[in-house]
Structure 1
Amino acid sequence: MTLPAHLPVLLGDLVLIIAVARLLGAAATRLDQPAVIGEIVGGILLGPTLLGHYSSTVFSAAVRPTLSDVANVGVCVFMFGIGVELDHRLLRGQARTAATVALGAIAVPFGFGVLLALYLVRHHPTTHHAGFVLFMGTAMSVTAFPVLARILTDKKLLRTPIGGLAMACAAFGDVLAWTLLVISVALARADGHPWRLLWVVPYLAVMVGVVRPGAARYARRHDGTGQGVTRPANLLVLAAVAVGLAASAVATDRMGLHQIFGAFLFGVVLPREGVAAVRERALPWITKVSALLLLPVFFIVAGFKVDLRHLDGTDVGELALILLVAIGGKLLGGFGAARALGVSRRHSAVLAVLLDTRGLTELIALSVGVQAGVLDARLNALMVVMAVVTTTLTGVLLRRVYPPERVRLDAERARADHPRIRQEPTP
């Protein structure tokens, strides 16, 4: 059997992608930044920004469709993982605080983003005016839940009261932000067959009323807790998860939405009980494969659409406005909402800084906007730069507002007294 002529090129490209992602990810980690920052930068550099027209030589037209397919699979797996990691127990005992802070951290940048969109639309004309305005507001409101979890883990904040509250805010905000993104994409894609969007209602009803309880019963019958993933029962559960993930992603795509919404919702409705062995062993393995291979390909495919070589004065001015709205909106919204609830000044600042993390989640949202025809190439490039800058800035600001010695002191106090964040005195 003769192998396709482009297969060696594809394999060589995959090796290059993985190597660059690992090297720049490690470099970012050494600089006390999330590895995803280096990987995003690597994707940009392997595109036309650094390689120019040679990018089309390294990643030829023959392999780009395959790379795009791999990238889409990687994003779907990633969004499924975010859905699985959303835990309602994060809100236990602090639901009102988390919901209020999350709403503040979304509403303020969303409002600023809408105003910015009304200005930008004059220089970036689109046939989807309402979708563009709503999308820009949503893009300014996104928080990267998984990147935030990694930052909290690295800073030893995950098990502290402020870390738990930050995760709860991000979880609540994720659901709201993705809902807004669904609406904006629906408005942009409704031109041809708007009737398809009517399927969203029965789809949600089936997912919540049929798939969730059915999956729970199936998982209980086939659970192999402690028996290992290779046990036939666990393989059946894993196969059922893969089929459900694919079916849900295809369903939302056929409705005129993006496949990532179906992947995300399937992760949300997946039962937390009855699949212990798969969750403990298989899902981490799948996540590692996604992080090692699939997501770096997504960064490259996203980098194909980013060209920073020809930015002019107008672009730089627009980038400054985007950064001002993105950073200022998150900090003002998060800090103001937390202070209104009586959270200490320091912890309010910490929450606001943490919720400004965007990372990969922002990149996924931008890719959805590009595919829906909402963003043009120039504005997409500026928004990608914003995602990198805001995520990098999180670590820098966090060290200023929450020094390591204060982190250690608060962690010790939390272990000893289990204080509620709202009851802490204002320093």
Structure 2
Amino acid sequence: MTSHHTQLLLLDLALIIALARGLGALARRVGQPPVVGEILAGVLLGPTLFGDLLTDHLFPADVRPLLTALADIGVALFMFVVGLELEHRLLRGRARVSAGAALGSTLVPFVLGTGLALYLLRGHGTGQRAAFVVFMGLAVSVTAFPVLARILADRGLSRTETGAVALAAAALVDVVAWTALAGVQAVAGGAGDYWRVALIVPFTALLVAARPLLRRLLAPAAGGGAAGPGAHRLGALVVGALLCAAATEAMGMHYIFGAFLFGAVLPRDAVAPVRDAIRERTGHVTSLLLPVYFVVAGLDVDLRGVGPGGLADLGAILLVAVAGKFCGTYAGARSQGLAPAAAGRLAALMNTRGLTELVILGVGLQLGLLDQGLYSLLVVMALATTAMTGPALSLIDRRAPARATEPEHEPPGVPEPGRAAPGVPEPGREAPGAPVPAVASAPGRTGSLR
């Protein structure tokens, strides 16, 4: 890499981080999750607003692979923390209603999404029709677990029955989404890759068998009491996440699966005392690298050529994504006895997508299942559905304001991997007079979530 490339890379990173932080803060001021502003920053730096000339000068072809590599590291660490945050105890006492909501939230939009795919095939042809149909069903079915946790905190729902069910249902939807995406990638990868993809089964079994070793690794040092982990323990976990990401990439699957799987299999009893430290250390890295992912994703978003046909496609996508998610979640929750107002709030919450959607869309683009035009429309859908969650909740609360009667619970919060952990000031900020409590104990005062 030449000196010119190094200068341009550093300038690009400075521009990306400054714009993403600025628009993220602006989004927070207007009541939106910061990820809305950060995704918008990626779109604004793409060709939609300024055209190819400025974009090609800011992000030339020989610098983009370097930005992509940095973004991949950030997403891998983000997915590791998302897997780490999956909590089996969320289902205790509410398994039926959570499973009902998750089933409706996945099945109804998936079925509608497959019908949408058949409509979209007319103008966005692909040589892998079956994989495209399944992928579109998946793309409108996902829920962004971390964004959901942040909205719960801001709305004071973290300690309610609705909040607990929402977190549990979103966790179930996440597992289904990543598993289904792995299957789509196996099919889209071609028959020659099937034998490599099959290695995921023994690989997962090996990780599960290694749980006792991971438990010993996370145990406090002799004589160290319950103190946080040393740097070598945290380093070992990051190494494990990156190695698992590399392993699934070598199997013909996306690296996100390995990082997510490693976080998911870590023994929860052993990881609980060190979770805050893991969040803090990885959060400092992802807060810098995830905005790079938004820009890399935004460089492929070009809305300049969207005509009447494109607007019709966008309308159909939004209708299926919003109506399918809301109606499916509401019906699933009501079928298990959840009150109408609580089911409505849950349906609005499950409609948020955030970074999770962008990661899935990036896989679809990489596999050739999406062309640039359809990819751009789906990114707009991800941005719109995430932005509409807060207003939808406000509307429901105005119609049914009596949520204070819901029983309180203590679901675990999920600090954003891109921000400092609870009680730890963000880089460059002074610590407040008292530590900031976790999501479950002080709604609305945590770091932002994606």
| TM-score normalised to structure 1 length | 0.91
Q: Any conservation in 2 of the 1:112–1:329 contact (CA below 8 Å)?
A: yes
- Report if the CA contact (8 A) 2:161-2:408 is conserved: no
Give the counterpart letter for 2:186 in structure 1. A
* Corresponding position of 1:296: 291
The residue type paired with residue 367 of structure 1 is: G
Match of 2:336 in 1: 341
Percent identical across equivalent pairs? 49
The DSSP-based 3-state class of the residue aligned with 1:248 is: helix
Q: Which residue of 1 aligns with 2:253?
A: 257
* Mapped partners of 2:194, 2:335: distance in 1: 41
Q: 1:19-52 CA deviation, whole Å, 9 max, x = no partner?
A: 1001110111111010000000010000111121
Give the aligned residue type for 1:10. L
Corresponding residue of 2:94: 94
Query: Which range is displaced more, 66-75 or 116-125?
Result: 116-125
Query: For residue 157 of structure 1, what is the amino acid of its counterpart?
Result: L
Q: Distance in 2 between matches of 1:98 and 1:415?
A: 16
8 A contact 1:108–1:330 mirrored in 2: yes
Q: Is 1:34 equivalent to 2:33 in the alignment?
A: yes
Tell me if the contact between 1:43 and 1:301 (Cα under 8 Å) persists in the aligned partners. yes
Of the three residues 262, 266, 276, the one matched with 1:266 is 262
The residue number in structure 2 matching 1:393 is: 388
Q: Which has the larger displacement, 395-404 or 243-252?
A: 395-404
* Alignment match, 1:367: 362
The Cα offsets for residues 89-123 of structure 1, whole Å up to 9 and x where unpaired, read as: 11110111101110111000000001111121221
1-structure distance, mates of 2:336, 2:408: 23
Kindly provide the CA deviation profile for residues 213-262 of structure 1, in whole angstroms up to 9, marking residues without a partner as x: 22112222648565455xxxx22211210121111101111111100001
CA change 1:3–1:48 in 2 (3 A) is closer
CA contact (8 A) 2:161 2:406 kept: no
What is the CA-CA distance between 1:315 and the residue it aligns to?
0.7
Structure 1: where are the runs of 5+ without partners? Answer: 417-427
C-alpha separation in 1, matches of 2:60 and 2:320: 37
In 2, the alpha carbon distance for the partners of 1:211 and 1:5 equals 46
- In the alignment, what sits opposite 1:119? 119
**Residues in 1 aligned to 2:2 and 2:253: alpha-carbon distance in whole angstroms:** 35
1:328 and 2:323 matched: yes
Distance verdict in 2 for CA 1:380–1:29, change over 3 Å: same
Q: What is the CA distance between 1:204 and its match in structure 2?
A: 1.5
| Mapping for residues 348-427 of structure 1, pairs under 5 Å | 348-403=343-398, 406=401, 410-411=403-404, 414=407
SS at match of 2:305: coil
Q: CA deviation at 1:191?
A: 4.0
Q: What letter is aligned with 1:414?
A: P
Q: Distance in 2 between matches of 1:227 and 1:221?
A: 7
Judge conservation of contact 1:49–1:306 (CA < 8 Å) in 2: yes
- Of stretches 140-149 and 397-406 in structure 1, the one that deviates more from structure 2 is 397-406
SS at structure 1 position matched to 2:275: helix
Residues 226 and 11 (structure 1 numbering): CA distance in 2 closer, same or farther, change over 3 Å?
farther
Cα distance change on mapping 1:148 and 1:121 into 2, 3 Å = same
Q: Judge conservation of contact 2:33–2:151 (CA < 8 Å) in 1.
A: yes
Q: Is the Cα contact below 8 Å between 1:46 and 1:300 reproduced in 2?
A: yes
Measured in 1, the distance between the counterparts of 2:47 and 2:122 equals 26
1:163/1:62 CA distance change after superposition, 3 Å:
same
The AA in structure 2 aligned to 1:95 is A
Question: Which structure 2 residues correspond to residues 227-246 of structure 1 after superposition, within 5 A?
Answer: 227-229=227-229, 234-246=230-242
Aligned residue in 1 for 2:423: none
Instruction: Give the distance between the partners of 1:310 and 1:151, measured in 2 at CA.
Output: 34
Q: Is the 8 A contact 1:135 1:185 kept in 2?
A: no
Number of equivalenced pairs: 407
In the aligned structure 2, how far is the partner of 1:66 from the partner of 1:287? 21
**Matched residue, 2:210:** 211
What is the identity, as a one-letter code, of the residue corresponding to 1:271? P
CA distance in 2, matches of 1:285, 1:340: 42
* Partner of residue 43, structure 2: 44
Q: Call closer, same or farther: CA 1:284–1:225 in 2, change over 3 Å.
A: farther
Structure 2 counterpart of 1:327, which letter?
V
- Distance in structure 2 (CA, Å) of the matches to 1:282 and 1:89: 20
Letter of the structure 2 residue corresponding to residue 272 of structure 1: R
2:172 maps to what in 1?
172
Equivalent residue runs for 1:11-22 within 5 Å: 11-22=10-21
Structure 2 match to 1:420: none
Alignment-derived partner of residue 154 in structure 1: 154
Normalised by the length of structure 2, the TM-score is 0.87
What is the alpha-carbon distance in structure 1 between the residues aligned to residue 190 and residue 120 of structure 2?
22
CA contact (8 A) 1:237 1:278 kept: no
Deviations 1:63-84 (A, max 9, x none): 2111000111111111111101
- Match of 2:95, as an amino acid? A
**Does the CA contact (< 8 Å) of 1:190 and 1:256 recur in 2?**
no
1:424 corresponds in structure 2 to none
Unaligned runs of 5+ in 2: 410-450
Runs of 4+ in 1 over 4 A off after TM superposition: 221-226
Render the CA deviation track for 1:255-312: whole Å, top value 9, x for unaligned.
111000011010101122334554222422312330x211000000000110011111
1:286-342 C-alpha deviation (Å, 9 max, x unpaired): 12330x211000000000110011111111111000001000001110111111112
- The one-letter code matched in structure 1 to 2:214 is A
SS of residue in 2 equivalent to 1:414: coil
Partner of 2:142: 142
Q: Report if aligned partners of 2:220, 2:226 keep a CA contact under 8 Å in 1.
A: no
User: In angstroms, what is the RMSD of aligned CA positions?
Assistant: 1.9
